[in-house]
Structure formats: C-alpha cells, structure tokens
Amino acid sequence: MTSMPILMIGLNHKVAPVEVRERLAFGAERIPFVLKELLSDETIEINEVVLLSTCNRTEIYLCTCNSPVSEKKIQEFFASHAKLPVENLQHLVYVLRGEDAVEHLMQVSAGLDSLVLGENEILGQVRSAAETAQVAGATGPILSALFRYAIQAGKRARAETEIGRGDISVASVVVELAQQALGPLENRTVLLIGAGKISSITARALIKAGLRCIMIANRTYERAEKLAQNLHGTAVHFDALNETLKQADIVICSTGAPHIVLHADAVEKAQKARDGRPLLVADLAVPRDADPEITSIPGVQLANIDDLGIVVKTSHPVTRSIYQKVEVIIQQEFDSFHQWYGARGCVPIIQALHSKAEIIYQAEVEKTLRRLGSLTPHQEQLVQAMGKAIVGKLLHEPTVHLRELSADEDPSTYLKLVQDLYGIQ
C-alpha cells in the first residue's frame, strides 16, 4: 500500500491549542470554494481532495501523484489562511501517507481520536465532509471509497462496541464543571449565546441535571425563539445581551461567528451588578466566542474547548478493552479498503476481457442464426440467451479472482497470465 497516492495533512486538539486551531477553522459555506481553489492549483497536481474541519481538527485528504510538492503547498496554504509564518505551523502539523492516512481517518471516524472518546458528532462531520467534496466535484473513486469505508468503521464501532454508549460528552463535561463551580443547579440560570445544535444539546444536559431557567440569545431572534419553545426557555434579543448577563450563573457560547461575541468589559460590568456571585462561562466555539481576558475577572471561570478536554482526560479515563474492540473493527474495514484498492488495477483487464467476450459472443450467435435458417423470435432469443449464459459462466471465476486480488500481493503475474490466455492487449 506504500504506493497508494493518498496524503493527509492536518492538526488537531492533541497537537495544537485552540488559539491556533481557530485560525484554521473553515465554515461550511467556505469549504467548496477552498476545494476548488486547491484543485485548480496546477502546481500541486491534486486529483481528489476532501477537507474535514471541526472544532477539534482541520485535516486535508489528498489523492496526489506529487506528494512532496503537495505537502509543501498545503502547509503554505495553512500558513496563509492562519496568517502565520510556515515555520510557526510546521511543528504542529502532522503528515500521513498511504496506509497511515487511511488508518488515521478510520480512527477519527470511529471516535478514537476525539476529545471525548466515541463522541457521535465526528461521524456526521466525516460524512458531511465527504458529501461536500462530492457535490463540489472534488472527489473521485479513491477518496470516495476511503471515506465510505471509514464511515462504515465509525458506524460499526458504535453499533458493536461500548464506545458510543457512555454518558461522557462535551455537554456532560459542561454540567460537571457547572456543578463543581456552583453546586446544585436547580436554582441556577443559564444563558445560551447561539441557538445551534451544540447549544441545544448542552442545554438539555443541564436540564437533566436539574437546571430550569434558560435564556437564549441569537443573532437571528426567530431561531432563539424556536429553541426557547423547545426548551421551555426565554428568547432574548442579541442587542440586550449585556443586560441579560446580569441574570446568568452559566453562559454557554456556541455560535458560528468568526470573531469574539462575548467581550470582557461586558462580563466585568455584569459581574459587578451581580455582587460577585460566581459565574461560569463555557466557550464551546472554534473560533472562540468569548474574550480570553474574561479569565482575569474575579469570580468568573472561563473554560474553552481545550479546558474541557483536560477534564475528560483526568476524570474519565478510558479502558483499553474498548480501544481494542474498536481497533479490531478498524482493521477489518482497513483490510476491506486495502483489498478494494488492490483490485482497482484489475478493472481494465476485467473490462477488456468482457468486451472481447461480447464481440465473440455476438459474432458466433449471428453465424449460428444464419446457419439455422428461419427461426421464430422466441427461438432466436433462446440461442442468444444460451450464448450469453455460456460466456457468463466461463468468465465468472476469472472475474471473481481478479476482483479479489489482495493489495498485499503483486497482481502483475496473474494479470499477465490472463492477458496471454485470452489474447488481451
């Protein structure tokens, strides 16, 4: 598999802090343009490309025949987008090739590489990345198959093991932090800044833990109203955010804004009006929504997505047995992709074999029909069907063997033998 032209370049929560990752976060609306930009760069020689961008990772998967040049160009692309010197990113970016890139994507899809082990969101994000690339015309047979097998690995991992059945999630960690900071949550108030999926999931986790008073602020007031109805909360206008902060004990930030939406001066003013009561601000967005300076305000605890990761690692260690079960599934799907890739080289031979057989079949059937003379239409159909059946049965076993050739083996000898036996050029 070392000759497989797959290259992956990226960074994630394990190697890069949130202040770097947020510089390389790509919104869903921008990804198609990025894919087309990369494909149109003739100096990179990219045949296929998929961009996976989440809160915890940005990874570009390439099918390229010029790996060294592509690697250099993608690192320059990252640096340009992040507005950082290439040298500042080189020690953070990881590069994987061939089978290593394949295995990594399957680990990502299965949840083994997530901030919270087995979290379900990543599987949907992998699927969405593949679909976006397909719609943009950026994928071909190799990356389409790779992501298909990776998604299958993720689905099987969650269906066949305990990895996705635990109670640990980003939302549950927020609840844990809130209880540590504030104690029982029954009489507490939460302010959601942003009315998306993450806000909804986190709010429901807080409700399950006893919290009842919820306020939702969103740029689009109608979205805030809709979520408020579902959560039995109250929608507030975004321009009233600073005033609303005074009532909150917990603030959950999760918008898609590319800039700060919760400023330190607003929190500081609100904190003075709250008589110094403790306030927890959980910033779940990448790029970050909350000003990092908030952490210096007395009585206010600010936790970003990386802080939640630290809590997970220290408070919720994962058993090795779960890893091992998922790794078995990954190996199985890896082997399936491996076999598929190896058989790709046989496709032209299979097509040529069947094309030649079709030509011979047509010629011989026509010759036979002429010799038989006058036949009814039904009798002619029977002769044609018999000829087609004979060809199909004769080619079945060679076709099956060609398709099942392992990528671990060199198929050239077998292919040459088939070409010689059947006179295929």
342 is in an annotated binding site: no
The CA distance from 56 to 302, in Å, is 18
Q: Assess whether 55 carries a catalytic annotation.
A: yes
Q: Is 394 helix (H, G, I), strand (E, B) or coil?
A: helix
37 is in an annotated binding site: no
| 294 touches 261 (CB < 8 A) | no
Residue recorded with tokens 């990025």: 34
253 is in an annotated binding site: no
121 is in an annotated binding site: yes
Using CA atoms, how far residue 262 sits from 119, 221, 256, in Å, is 27, 17, 13
Burial of 201 (0-12, 13-18, 19+ CB in 10 A): middle
199 is in an annotated binding site: yes
219 is in an annotated binding site: no
198 is in an annotated binding site: yes
Quick one: which of 9, 46, 53, 11 has its CA closest to 32? 53
Q: Which residues have C-beta within 8 Å of that of residue 87, sequence separation ≥ 6? A: none
The CA distance from 288 to 307, in Å, is 13
Q: Is 282 helix (H, G, I), strand (E, B) or coil?
A: strand
> b/e per residue, 40-51, with b = 16+ CB within 10 A?
eeeebebbbbbb
Given the DSSP bridges, would you call strands 213-218 and 189-193 parallel, antiparallel or unpaired? parallel
87 is in an annotated binding site: no
297 is in an annotated binding site: no
Quick one: which of 18, 6, 42, 14 has its CA closest to 302? 18
120 is in an annotated binding site: yes
> b/e per residue, 125-145, with b = 16+ CB within 10 A?
bbbebbebbeebebbeebbbb
The CA distance from 115 to 269, in Å, is 33
Question: What is the edge-to-edge ordering of all strands in the sheet holding 94-97?
Answer: 46-53, 57-64, 6-12, 94-97
125 is in an annotated binding site: yes
The CA distance from 266 to 251, in Å, is 13
User: What region, left, alpha or beta, does residue 185 occupy, with left being phi > 0 and alpha being psi -120 to 50 degrees?
Assistant: alpha
Q: Which helix (H) or strand (E) holds 48?
A: strand 46-53
Determine phi and psi for 257, rounding to 5 degrees: -70, 145
| Active-site hit among 55, 63, 253, 346 | 55
178 is in an annotated binding site: no
119 is in an annotated binding site: yes
Catalytic residues: 55
Residues that constitute the known binding site for substrate: 54-57, 114, 119-121, 125
Residues that constitute the known binding site for NADP(+): 194-199
